[in-house]
């Protein structure tokens, strides 16, 4: 594993900072070397909170974030001082959703991409431009773009600059937080293919956060499904899409647009009543029970633990008994 996120009970992130406190409960998962692990859920489910916690942007009040360093040692990032953490900031990098907002408009690309190299003294100044030009080429941009400013680029090109910036330090784990969500459909596909190529080339591990299941299906090996600050299901992507084990996953899948009429949807769209709950004020028992058509008295009283059911990982009291509908995607039209 490259990293282990372990939060056994209610964990508050953002404590002591200006951001509002957000609770995440029992969010524990491993990130395996070389994989793309998806984290999916509606906005406000805690996905971004978890990534910010891995990066040390948010504090963690309980639980650990363990990272396997280049020498194979497991380091608890939450136990490090800010100064000690700096040693790992080049290993763990992030690409944000909005390339417009995340690139400083007043800096040329050479400074945007090269800043992390300069600040961390990874390269002598004289070598930074060469490295930036090389990185631009790797992400499919012309090396001479190093002297341009962000406004001179299209949205897709700007996101390539953001990817080059993340790769500048030869990271091991790259967090992609809604990294293609702001892009047009055709540009999105190109960017996803670029990310796949870069992963192969550099042996990267991705944590891919998105609310968009069609993107998750395309790029992820495994998927963590979150609902109001908790994990409800973890599965291989193919298994999850073919056969969800949690009613919330089933509802998310049922809302997917069918990309091609040759891919027939197996079932009907499931409409979820009510609103997503507030993570800081979750319903008792299973947080999903007010919206779940299978809810029983037990669901209202008892919180389901994340557990193994038939080789799968799911947090639902009745997972054994439910035969939920999946979707047919991927490469085998019926
Ligand atoms: Fe639905 Fe109960 Fe399962 Fe929660 S535990 S998802 S309410 S069946
Ligand atoms: Mg988010």
How many A from CA of 293 to the centre of ligand 1? 8
Mutate to test the pocket of ligand 1, among 228, 230, 233, 247 (most ligand atoms within 8 A of CB): 247
Q: How far is CA 304 from CA 29, 42, 60, 84, 189, in A?
A: 17, 20, 23, 37, 37
Cα three-residue angle 280-180-105, rounded to 5 degrees: 95
What's residue 21's pLDDT?
Answer: 52
What's residue 258's pLDDT?
Answer: 64
How many A from CA of 96 to the centre of ligand 2? 9
Residues in the chain predicted with pLDDT less than 50, given as ranges, are: 15-17, 331-334
Q: What residues pair up with 174 in beta bridges, in sequence order? A: 93, 206
pTM: 0.91
Helices and strands in the chain, H and E counts:
11, 14
Q: Is 290 in the pocket of ligand 1 (CB under 6 A)?
A: no
Ligand nearest to the CA of 232: 1
- Which residue segments constitute the domains of the chain, with CATH numbers given? 1-91+171-328 (3.40.50.300)
- Each residue's pLDDT tens digit, 171-195: 999 999 999 998 998 999 999 999 9
What's residue 141's pLDDT?
Answer: 97
């Amino acid at each position: 594993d490259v990293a282990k996120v372990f939060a056994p009970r209610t964990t508050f992130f953002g404590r002591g900072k200006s951001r509002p406190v957000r609770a995440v409960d029992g969010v524990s998962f491993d990130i395996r070397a070389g994989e793309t692990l998806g984290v999916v859920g509606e906005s406000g489910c805690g996905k971004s909170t978890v990534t910010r916690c891995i990066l040390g942007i948010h504090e963690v009040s309980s639980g650990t974030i363990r990272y396997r360093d280049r020498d194979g040692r497991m380091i608890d990032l939450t136990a490090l001082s800010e100064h000690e953490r700096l040693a790992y900031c080049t290993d763990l990098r992030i690409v944000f959703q909005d390339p417009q907002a995340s690139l400083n408009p007043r800096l040329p690309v050479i400074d945007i991409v090269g800043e992390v190299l300069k600040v961390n003294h990874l390269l002598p100044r004289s070598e930074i431009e060469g490295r930036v030009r090389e990185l631009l080429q790797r992400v499919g941009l012309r090396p001479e773009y190093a002297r341009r400013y962000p406004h001179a680029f299209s949205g897709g090109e700007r996101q390539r600059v953001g990817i080059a910036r993340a790769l500048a330090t030869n990271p091991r784990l790259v967090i992609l937080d809604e990294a293609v969500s702001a892009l047009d459909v055709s540009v999105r596909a190109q960017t996803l293919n670029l990310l796949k190529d870069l992963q192969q080339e550099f042996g990267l591990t991705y944590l891919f956060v998105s609310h968009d299941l069609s993107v998750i299906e395309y790029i992820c090996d495994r998927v963590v499904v979150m609902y109001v600050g908790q994990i409800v299901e973890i599965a291989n992507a193919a298994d999850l899409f073919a056969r969800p084990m949690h009613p919330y996953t089933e509802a998310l899948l049922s809302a997917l647009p069918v990309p091609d009429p040759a891919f027939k949807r197996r079932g009907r769209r499931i409409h979820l009543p009510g609103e997503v709950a507030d993570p800081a004020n979750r319903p008792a028992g299973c947080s999903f029970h007010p919206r779940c058509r299978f809810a029983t008295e037990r669901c209202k009283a008892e919180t389901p633990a994340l557990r193994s059911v038939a080789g799968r990982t799911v947090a639902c009291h009745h997972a054994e008994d439910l035969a939920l509908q999946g979707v047919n995607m991927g490469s085998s039209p019926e």
